[in-house]
Structures are given as structure tokens and as C-alpha cells.
């Protein structure tokens, strides 16, 4: 009985914590679908908005390359270019 109660309480707490999160809306532009489909598979899209004041075109190219080469994101070269172009055009400093 205690385990059922603990499980129910835990589920309630998780649901409450998620209820306060705001949905991230990125700029609607060419490449958005690729960014949402690939980047959000591993991390929150708020990283894009948080890093945008600090990254220029070269910085976004380096970030996309790092995600693929260092962290192993399974992204083809043409999709990586689309993602990088989107980030540079919409979130570059």
C-alpha cells in the first residue's frame, strides 16, 4: 500500500513540475523543422535562445559540428548545413 501511495505522490509531483515549464517557440523560418526534429531529440530548444547572444556564424557552425562529432548526433551533412544556416540567420549575434 505504501509503495502505491509513494508512486502516486511521485507522479503528482512530476506532473506539477512539468506544468510550470513554458514551451519554447523558435522563429518560424526555413530550417525550423530540422532544428526541432534533430536538436530537440537530445536537449531543450531553450539552449538556442540562451546561447544566441554569444554565438556568431562561426560559433553556430562549431556548435553544430560539436553536436555531431563530439556527442554523436546522427545528422547528415546536408541537414547539418540547414540547421547551421537556420541558427546563423535567426540567432546569430
User: How far is the first Cα of the chain from the last one, in angstroms, to the nearest whole number?
Assistant: 56
Asked if residue 86 belongs to a domain, the reply is yes
Q: What's the number of CA atoms in the CB half-sphere (13 Å) around residue 75?
A: 27
Q: Which domain holds residue 65?
A: 24-91
pLDDT of residue 11: 58
Residues 6+ apart with CB under 8 A from 47: 39
83 falls within a domain: yes
Nearest to 79 by CA among 68, 66, 90, 92: 68
State pLDDT tens for residues 29-88: 999 999 999 999 999 999 999 999 999 999 999 999 999 999 999 999 999 999 999 999
Instruction: Say what the pLDDT of residue 93 is.
Output: 83
Number of domains in the chain: 1
CATH classification at residue 80: 1.10.760.10
Residue 2: what pLDDT?
59
Q: Is residue 13 part of a domain?
A: no
Amino acid at each position: 500500500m505504501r509503495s502505491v501511495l509513494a508512486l502516486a505522490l511521485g507522479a503528482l509531483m512530476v506532473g506539477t513540475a512539468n506544468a510550470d515549464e513554458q514551451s519554447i517557440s523558435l522563429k518560424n523560418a526555413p530550417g525550423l523543422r530540422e532544428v526541432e526534429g534533430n536538436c530537440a531529440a537530445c536537449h531543450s530548444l531553450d539552449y538556442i535562445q540562451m546561447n544566441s547572444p554569444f554565438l556568431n556564424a562561426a560559433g553556430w557552425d562549431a556548435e553544430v559540428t560539436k553536436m555531431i562529432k563530439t556527442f554523436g548526433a546522427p545528422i547528415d551533412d546536408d541537414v547539418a548545413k540547414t540547421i547551421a544556416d537556420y541558427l546563423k540567420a535567426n540567432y546569430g549575434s
